[in-house]
A = this chain, B = another copy of it.
């Protein structure tokens, strides 16, 4: 039986590119090639694994320009059963696709809100009068090109090739070092590695409560590579904290730190330890 990998679809999204790269690493370990399963939203991608409809899910966590993907963090907190199997880092190169012949003809630009935001300066300079219209995914935006020669879509060069659409401008992202980090989620225990992710809520909103919690890591020389707050959704001003540390949870210093951290927190969830795979832009699609 093939391993099934759920991801945000339709084919041509950056998440599919990350899922393909991950599937390629699995292909050498398994008899049947992994099966990619496109889902209509990130929430449904995660749920398909929690409900046993797919073995793994590849979901975006964080972009180097636009920051965290809130639905990913919120879903992981709410579901008890999923562990991080792997992190993937994908370089992002946006292109403008259109059936029109020149930039001057473009009146409307469609894309996912994160992609529009990542090309904000280019859009203000090159298409200052264009109307920007958000869509659910970079690929879903492509349906607007069918009959409208004044429409443009920001997406990957891979999508241009998949759907046979002309590229009007390439590498239009404002920052060259634009990367997105993905997690591979599954129900099996995590495999261990260089990073561990966790999240917690605090029992009381008093001076120093957060500092005391993260101090237990610092005093043991454990580097916190990321801290992100999310609302608890109970009331304005109450937060969950998502933390990534550069260590494996099986190390004794980390085990001691996590045991002490549990005494400072209300709820503490460990999402697993994992390795990070940096996907090289080797294929033509990511040039």
Chain B residue, CB-CB nearest to A242: B229
Task: Jot down 10 A-B pairs with beta carbons below 8 A, ordered by A.
Answer: A62-B231, A62-B236, A64-B236, A67-B229, A207-B222, A210-B214, A211-B218, A226-B237, A226-B239, A227-B227
A207 and B211 in contact (CB under 8 A), knowing A181-B236, A226-B237? no
Q: Which residues of B contact A135 (CB under 8 A)?
A: 133-134
Q: Which residues of B contact A66 (CB under 8 A)?
A: 70, 231
Are B63 and A234 neighbours in the complex by a CB distance under 8 Å? no
Are A228 and B229 neighbours in the complex by a CB distance under 8 Å? yes
Chain B residue, CB-CB nearest to A236: B64
Chain B residue, CB-CB nearest to A241: B227
A233 to B179, CA, bound (A): 10
- Report A's interface with B, CB cutoff 8 A: 43, 62-67, 70-71, 89, 113, 117, 120, 132-136, 175, 177, 179, 181, 205-208, 210-212, 214-215, 217-219, 221-231, 233-237, 239
This chain's copy number in the assembly:
2
Q: Which residues of B contact A181 (CB under 8 A)?
A: 236
Q: Which residues of B contact A63 (CB under 8 A)?
A: 231
Secondary structure of the A contact surface, majority rule: mixed
Minimum-distance CB pairs A-B, first 3: A208-B218, A64-B236, A134-B134
Q: Which residues of B contact A133 (CB under 8 A)?
A: 135-136
Q: Which residues of B contact A206 (CB under 8 A)?
A: 223
A229 CB → nearest B CB, Å:
6
Chain B residue, CB-CB nearest to A136: B134
A119 CB → nearest B CB, Å:
13
Q: Which residues of B contact A233 (CB under 8 A)?
A: 64-65, 175
Are A227 and B229 neighbours in the complex by a CB distance under 8 Å? yes
* Cross-interface CB contact of A179 among B212, B226, B236, cutoff 8 Å: B236
Chain B residue, CB-CB nearest to A180: B236
Are B211 and A65 neighbours in the complex by a CB distance under 8 Å? no
A164 to B272, CA, bound (A): 52
A181 to B175, CA, bound (A): 30
Q: Which residues of B contact A205 (CB under 8 A)?
A: 223, 225
A239 to B63, CA, bound (A): 12
Q: Which residues of B contact A219 (CB under 8 A)?
A: 208
Are A120 and B43 neighbours in the complex by a CB distance under 8 Å? yes
Q: Which residues of B contact A229 (CB under 8 A)?
A: 67, 226-229
Are A217 and B207 neighbours in the complex by a CB distance under 8 Å? yes
Are B70 and A235 neighbours in the complex by a CB distance under 8 Å? no
A256 CB → nearest B CB, Å:
15
Are B207 and A223 neighbours in the complex by a CB distance under 8 Å? yes
Q: A62-B236, A64-B235, A70-B117 are in contact. List 12 more A-B contacts (CB 8 A).
A: A64-B233, A64-B237, A65-B233, A89-B236, A134-B134, A175-B233, A210-B214, A210-B224, A211-B217, A225-B237, A227-B229, A228-B229
